[in-house]
Structure formats: C-alpha cells, structure tokens
Amino acid sequence: MQVSAYALDKIAEKLNLSIKDLNKAFKKKILREDEYKEQKYLLFKKGFRGIEKGTVIFLNENLDVVRGYPKTYRAITLYPTIKNHFIDKVVVEEKLNGYNIRIVKVDDEIYALTRSGYICPFTTKKVKKFLNLEILDDYNEYMLCGEMIGLNNPYTPYYYKEADKGYENLGFYIFDIKERETNKSLPVKERMKLCEKYNLPYVKPLAIVDKETAHIQVRKIIEKLNKEGREGVVLKDPDMAVSPIKYTTHYTQCEDLKSAFTFFFDLGIDFIFSRVVREGFMSYEFKESLEERKIRAKDLGEAILLPMVETINKVANGERVSEDFELIFDSEEDFEEFLYFMRKMKMIINIKNVEEINTNEGVKIKALIGKIYNRTNDKIISYLNGTLWE
Ligand code: ATP
Ligand code: MG
C-alpha cells in the first residue's frame, strides 16, 4: 500500500473515521487500491461505518472523495408507506432500468464510476462523447448521478426507444446531483434547473402529488408504465430532505425473473423470493379478483419456468449458454481496454463476434460478447447425467 501517513490522516478526517478504522478497513480488504490509467484510487468494496459501498478516494494531492450512491429502499405497499415516509409533496419520477453512474471531474479529467466504485473505461468514454460536462468546471464539488440505459451496454442491456442513436442504443439521464464529498443532494427543482442551463439530459417528473393521496396516483402511473413495459417509479421529496423510495411494475418483476431463471443456478435464488413477495403485496393492495390474480400467477410461473426449460434444452443440445451483449467501440484500443477491465472485474467472457461497421461518425468496432455463467451450465450437465440433488 502506497498511502502515506499524511494521506491517511487526511482521508480519515474527510470521511470522519479514525486511523484505526481505516487500517481495519484495509486489513479486512474492505478498502482496496485500484487504478485507471495512471490514476490510483482507494475504493470501499462494502459499506463501512457510515461510508457507502462504492466510495472512492482519489490518491491525488487533494485526496478527492466521491461517495458511493446510497441504497434506494423499496416500498412493498404504496399505502401507508408513502404517507408515512414523506413530509408533504412527493415527486414521482420514472425509474429507468439501466446502470447507475456517477460522473466526476478530478484534476481536469472526467471519470464515470460504476455503482461499486470502479472507473469504467467504456462508460467514461461514452459520457465524454455524449455530454458537454462544463457544469463540472463550474461546480467541481458535484457529481452527476444518472442511469446509463440501452441495449448496447455491458451491465444491463435493455432496449429503450429514446436511447436510439442509429448505430447504437445507449443513453444517459441524470436523476440526482450531489456534493461528491458529502453525498448531499440538490433539491429536485435545482437539479433540473442546472441540467437545463448546461443542456444535460435528465429524468423529468411524471407528477408531483400530495403524500396523502399519492398511493392512488402512483398506482395509476404504475399501471400505465406496466402496460408500456417500463420498470417503475422512484419517489422523492422535492427538497431531497428524506431518502427516495422505489416501486416497480409487475412487468419488471416478471422480466427480472425471466433473466434470472435463464441462468437459474447462478441467479435464481437471489431473485425469486423478493419478486414473489412484491407480487403478493401488489395483488393484495390492488384488490384483485381471483381471475386477475390467476393471470398474475400465470405470468409469474411462466417467467420462472419457460426460460429455465429453454436453458436446459440448450445445454442438453450441447450449447454453453451465455448472456450476450453487443458493444460499440471507437477503436480497437478502446475494445482491448474494456476487455482488460471486464477480466479485472472477474467477468468470464467469450468474444463471439467482432466486426467493423460504417456509421455517420466513421468506422467503429461492434463486438458481440457473451457473459458465461459456469454454475448454470455445469450443474445442468451434471443433473442431465444423473447426479442426485443433495
Ligand atoms: P439498491 O437497492 O442498492 O439501490 P439496486 O441495484 O437493487 O440497488 P435498483 O433496484 O435498480 O438498484 O434501484 C435503485 C437504482 O435505480 C438507483 O441506484 C439508480 O441507479 C436507479 N434509478 C433509475 N431511475 C432513477 C431515478 N429516476 N431516480 C433515482 N434512481 C433511479
Ligand atoms: Mg436498476
């Protein structure tokens, strides 16, 4: 570890931790060193004494801190949860189904950090290209928190029509601007005003409602989003004085299950119980008839069983199943750099195809990459060969 005693002191002070705590975090490997290009940084792999997972400390002269994006708690019932949690008005925003990114400028360089606190080369390059980030010259103490969405991404490949850019389906929407060292959010209105001023894309409110009647309006919004195949909502206090909470659609619960049960021995257990519970409470709260409840049950059952059997079939036919995603890179070098990053993230990948494509911005590289779930593949083979369930 290259951190000097002086640096350690300053980091402890900034994070409001003792040196003893910091050393403990190092020892437990909660605090780890990593680097992106020449820039070394420390990274919290887990939450520790009030410091969020994904918090990063740049090992530069300033020891710039970027706090991790806090967990968003989930409402299981709309009533009385919203009424109990909020103060007065509630801003209803759409919850986008992509991956969380924090954009910061440190020592004149732009970085895009993933939720777990890695500087992602793919995302860093994309945001530098898509966005004019002058805002971070004027407000260097801020981080832009947003969702990267679209089919052509390596983490949550999910199609959004608004993210279509011709040769690439990828977009970014800011949903929060925070002071990066304290994690304090700007009020919703101020965030939107700044985004307007700097011409940055942001998530617009679907409605602003009174907390007393919010459950009725949110239910209507959820039913509409459900029909449109969208993920759900995040509810916020206009001043961000209390933490936001999320609520998702039936459609999303089923989509989550479908993707998890495609790789069921890797992801099934972690996904199933919480999704089924969400559906149970939704069915109760929406006062469904038996007929409606049976439709929900059928959707749930199909979301679990159909992808599972499809996977078993594929493996039985000799295929190794993988989760495929297609990414667009500006150069061979960018592609190589990202491959190195994925391997560092311990992603087991299989490059299925690489080709050059002509776009209105010149020649680019399109790569089809498969993420391998070994456990699912291996266990299916073993049960097909007669292994007993323990
Ligand atoms: P956690 O529950 O720890 O926050 P998770 O990976 O389970 O993380 P999600 O279920 O996707 O996350 O819900 C929280 C995430 O939703 C946020 O971290 C953010 O990336 C994303 N998100 C999408 N749209 C919004 C929005 N409008 N406002 C806030 N967050 C949003
Ligand atoms: Mg998400």
Protein fold of 8-66: Nuclear Transport Factor 2; Chain: A, (3.10.450)
Distance 29 CA to ligand 1 centre (A): 26
Contact indicator for 155, 97 with CB cutoff of 8 Å: no
187 Cβ contact list (under 8 Å, min separation 6)? 238, 239, 240
Q: What does the pLDDT average to over 85-114?
A: 98
Pocket test for ligand 1, best of 67, 101, 147, 185 (most atoms within 8 A of CB): 147
- Among 280, 325, 281, smallest CA distance to 300 is for 280
Which tokens hold the place of 220? Answer: 């209507």
pLDDT value for 1: 57
Pocket test for ligand 1, best of 95, 97, 160, 225 (most atoms within 8 A of CB): 95
Element (H, E) at 41: strand 39-44
The response to whether residue 93 sits with its C-beta less than 6 Å from ligand 1 reads yes
The response to whether residue 95 sits with its C-beta less than 6 Å from ligand 1 reads yes
Counting from 1 in the atom list of ligand 1, the atom nearest the Cα of 236 is: 28
Which tokens hold the place of 238? Answer: 């206009």
pLDDT above 90 for 165 = no
Contact indicator for 380, 310 with CB cutoff of 8 Å: no
The response to whether residue 265 sits with its C-beta less than 6 Å from ligand 1 reads no
The response to whether residue 160 sits with its C-beta less than 6 Å from ligand 1 reads no
Which tokens hold the place of 230? Answer: 């969208």
Give residue limits of the domains in the chain: 8-66, 73-245, 251-317, 322-385
d(C-alpha 264, C-alpha 253), whole Å:
15
Counting from 1 in the atom list of ligand 1, the atom nearest the Cα of 99 is: 20
Report pLDDT digits (tens) over 268-301.
999 999 999 999 999 999 999 999 999 999 999 9
Which pTM value belongs to this model?
Answer: 0.95
pLDDT value for 384: 98
- Superfamily grouping for domain 73-245: DNA ligase/mRNA capping enzyme (3.30.470.30)
Report pLDDT digits (tens) over 222-246.
999 999 999 999 999 999 999 999 9
pLDDT value for 346: 87
122 Cβ contact list (under 8 Å, min separation 6)? 153, 154, 327, 329, 334, 338, 341
Protein fold of 251-317: Methane Monooxygenase Hydroxylase; Chain G, domain 1 (1.20.58)
Which tokens hold the place of 275? Answer: 């999704």
CATH entry 3.30.70 includes domain 322-385: yes
